[in-house]
Amino acid sequence: MSAAWMVGAFASAIGIGVGGGLAWIMKRFQRGYNFIYSVCAGLIIGLLFLEMIPESIALGGWVVLAFGFAVGLLLFMYIHRTMDQITIITDSHQKDIFIRSGVLLALSIAVHNFPVGIALGPTIGTDIGSIMLTTLVLHNIPEGIIIFTPLFLAGFGFLTWIFLTTLITIPIAAGSLLGQFFEIGMPFLLAFMINVAIAVIFMVAIKEIFGEAVKNASGVHCSINGLLGFGIIYLYLTFLN
């Protein structure tokens, strides 16, 4: 039982890793990155509105959602401004956008995973826990896709996949450990953390990913591709349910 919290981290790693593998397969279509990026933006928006936001509202309500989202917007603006001041590390503006998007998405998903781990911790070893672990694996696959797609397009490879998969699953392990042994409640605080992550992910999807796609293709074309991504997430989550 003392090491049961590791199961949550392992389940998360499987889902994120599989998503990263699918993103690696998509890498071969780099020439059509506008299509990939607009579809990826649709995947992210679908994941937010069909899963993360309803999860947050159920946990903390609309007021906490609004407050957390506002804080997340301010955080994104601060991070965005700070990263703009960092010396460019590549010789390509496109790669810079890819790297920034991937890093922000990875950090946001990591923040989101901590309260998820806290909720998972007390259930590990029970029938409900088994269901939650299966759900965690399947729901982390699209998260892996959206994180690793921009990073692979920027030229990163296998070591980045391993490193970030590990990094993103650490909050699941830490949250599960705390939830299991200390039975942490605080639903409003957990919802607030989720909402901050939601806001950052939303802004990355709209400003960094979809905005970059629109710069190099028509808005109508990108919107259609975005709807395709949204539809994929809808069908995927409907199948899981």
Task: Summarize the confidence of residues 45-66 as an average pLDDT.
Answer: 87
> Which of these, 217, 220, 232, lies nearest to 35 by C-alpha position?
217
230: pLDDT strictly greater than 90 = yes
Q: What range defines the domain where residue 156 resides?
A: 5-240
123 CB neighbour count, 10 Å cutoff: 18
Among the ranges 20-34, 68-82, 189-203, 219-233, which has the highest mean pLDDT value? 219-233
Which pLDDT belongs to residue 231?
A: 93
Q: Phi and psi for 12 in degrees, rounded to 5?
A: -65, -40
> Which of these, 78, 81, 97, 72, lies nearest to 203 by C-alpha position?
72
Contacts of 5 (CB under 8 A, 6+ apart): 117, 121, 124, 173, 176, 177, 180
Q: How many domains does the chain have?
A: 1
Phi-psi region of 157 (alpha: psi -120 to 50; beta: other; left: phi over 0): beta
91: pLDDT strictly greater than 80 = no
Assess contact for 118 and 179: CB atoms under 8 A. Answer: yes
pLDDT tens digits, 2-42: 565 677 788 888 988 888 888 888 776 655 667 877 888 88
Question: What's the whole-model pTM score?
Answer: 0.74
Task: Summarize the confidence of residues 97-119 as an average pLDDT.
Answer: 80
1: pLDDT strictly greater than 60 = no
Of the candidate ranges 22-31, 142-151, 181-190, the one whose mean pLDDT is the lowest: 181-190
CA distance 200 to 173: 22
> Which of these, 105, 172, 170, lies nearest to 132 by C-alpha position?
172
Which pLDDT belongs to residue 84?
A: 64
Packing angle of the helix pair 93-120, 158-182 (nearest 10 deg): 20
Chain-centroid distance, C-alpha 74: 19
Q: Copy the structure tokens of residue 15.
A: 């889902």
Which pLDDT belongs to residue 127?
A: 60
CA distance 129 to 152: 33
Q: What does each C-alpha distance from 45 to 81, 127, 198, 202 come to in angstroms?
A: 23, 31, 10, 7
Confidence of residue 89 (pLDDT cuts 50, 70, 90): low
CA distance 149 to 26: 7
Which pLDDT belongs to residue 129?
A: 59
220 CB neighbour count, 10 Å cutoff: 9
138: pLDDT strictly greater than 70 = yes
DSSP secondary structure of 177-231: HHHHHH----HHHHHHHHHHHHHHHHHIIIIIIIHHHHHTS-HHHHHHHHHHHHH
